[in-house]
Amino acid sequence: MIIRELRLCQARRALVTAPLRQSCLRALTTQTNVPNTQKSEIPSIFTSNARSSSNTRKRRVDPDKMVENYHMATELKKHIGKVGATVKKVYRPANVFLYPPGPKDVTLELLMASQAHMGHHTSLWNPANARYIFGIRQGIHIISLEETAAHLRRAARVVEEIAYRGGIILFAGTRPGHMQIVTQAAQLAGACHLFSKWTPGSITNGEVILRGMPATVVDEHDKPVEGYEKFVTESRPLVPDLVVCLNPLENYVLLHECALANVPTIGVIDTNAEPTWVTYAIPANDDSLRCLAVIGSVLGRAGESGKKRRLEDAKQGTVAWETPIEVQKFMAEERANAAREAERIAAINKAQSAA
């Protein structure tokens, strides 16, 4: 008991005044013998508590009522299933590719849902686009959707008429995410597409850059015609009759070459772009893939309708386009060569018969 009192009362003072040896510390930490009665009582208390706690902590197992709850929910749904409002999803971004809209489906609600009205910051605007801007909100120019719808319908009309007359249409979009848009639009309109970098000089110097590119000659029913292999290999590369550009800022070289070759162009013009670069401008947000998907689908549907009109008229004997001058010259030369060959063969046969 003396050692215990010394440890409890004088331990702090003894440790502070002078350091103690290891043997002294061992002597201070030893305890006096505890009576056997206390030793036996302490473990018994802990063991009894552990046993009681283990019995109370057993998890209750509830009966499985999954089938019963399912039938109950089914019966409840029969009674209250038709109660409440019917919620319909008006706009889904994936529907632009599953069900491409046409020129008749262009509405202000569709354009707003596709974020076509969002322009750039006021510090980045081009004053030439002032006629397309509706206002300013939080430092951002808002494009007038009425102007967008009107210009989009006009561009769709141009695409439809060029497709009706058998023209070559090129859909170009070189930003990430434009590949699916331009390929679907070209597939609908029966046109060409470009989603990689434009090769400079493909129009102005196409005779050198595009030499030997494959081409086909088709009739009024869009079926390949045989006998023009020589013409295809020796003819000049084709030049598109219309170019639809989704990002004019990155394709200035393409638009410049189209202007030099008198090729009409259609471009999506944002508030920071130059509208005079293209022939037919569509004021809209060129950074939104939803907006570009809507515009590409509308123009693709317009080309599809023009192509259908041309094929229907061709079945009735009406051809809306004329044979190119180069093809006419090639056909005239082939006919002249065939006539000379027939005359030569006739002369040979006549000489053999006279002999």
Q: What is the pLDDT of residue 50?
A: 47
Q: In the CATH scheme, what architecture does the domain 95-203+239-322 have? A: 3-Layer(aba) Sandwich (3.40)
Mean pLDDT score across all residues of the chain = 83
pLDDT in tens, 267-277: 999 999 999 99
Q: How confident is the model at residue 347 (pLDDT cuts 50, 70, 90)?
A: confident
- What does the pLDDT read at residue 44? 47
Structural contact between residues 280 and 154, judged by C-beta atoms closer than 8 angstroms: yes
Task: Write the CA distances from 341 to 92, 110, 344, 346, 354, integer angstroms.
Answer: 65, 64, 5, 9, 20
How much is the average pLDDT of 90-111?
Answer: 86
Q: Indicate if the alpha-carbon torsion angle 111, 112, 115, 120 is positive or negative.
A: positive
Q: What is the pLDDT of residue 37?
A: 46
Tell whether the model's pLDDT for residue 45 goes beyond 50.
no
Across the range 36-54, mean pLDDT stands at 47
CB-based contacts of 171, cutoff 8 Å, min separation 6: 182, 185, 186, 189, 191, 192, 193, 194, 244, 246, 296, 299, 300
Task: Mean pLDDT check: name the lowest of 22-31, 113-122, 201-210, 243-252.
Answer: 22-31
Give kind and range of the element (H or E) at residue 172. Answer: strand 169-172
Q: What's the pLDDT score for residue 40? A: 45
Buried b or exposed e, range 66-91, using 16+ CB within 10 angstroms: eeeeeeeeeeeeeeeeeeeeeeeeee
- Three-class SS state of 267: strand
Say what the pLDDT of residue 19 is: 52
pLDDT band at 102 (very low <50, low <70, confident <90, very high): very high
| Residue that wins the pLDDT comparison between 61 and 343 | 343
pLDDT value of residue 129: 94
Mean of the pLDDT values across residues 109-113?
92
Query: What does the block give as tokens for 203?
Result: 């129009």
pLDDT (average), residues 185-196: 94
Q: Helices 145-164 and 289-315 meet at what angle, rounded to 10? A: 30
Please report, rounded to a whole number, the percentage of residues in the chain having pLDDT higher than 90: 52
Domain locations along the chain:
95-203+239-322, 324-355
What is the Cα–Cα distance from 278 to 205, expressed in whole angstroms?
21
Q: pTM of the entire structure?
A: 0.71
- Cα distance between residue 183 and residue 293, in whole Å: 11
Which of 137-141, 163-167, 214-218 has the least mean pLDDT? 214-218
**282-332 tens-digit pLDDT:** 999 999 999 999 999 999 999 999 999 999 999 988 887 788 888 888 888
Q: Between these two residues, 27 and 81, which has the higher pLDDT value?
A: 81
Task: Kindly tell me if the per-residue pLDDT of 32 is higher than 80.
Answer: no
Q: How confident is the model at residue 151 (pLDDT cuts 50, 70, 90)?
A: very high
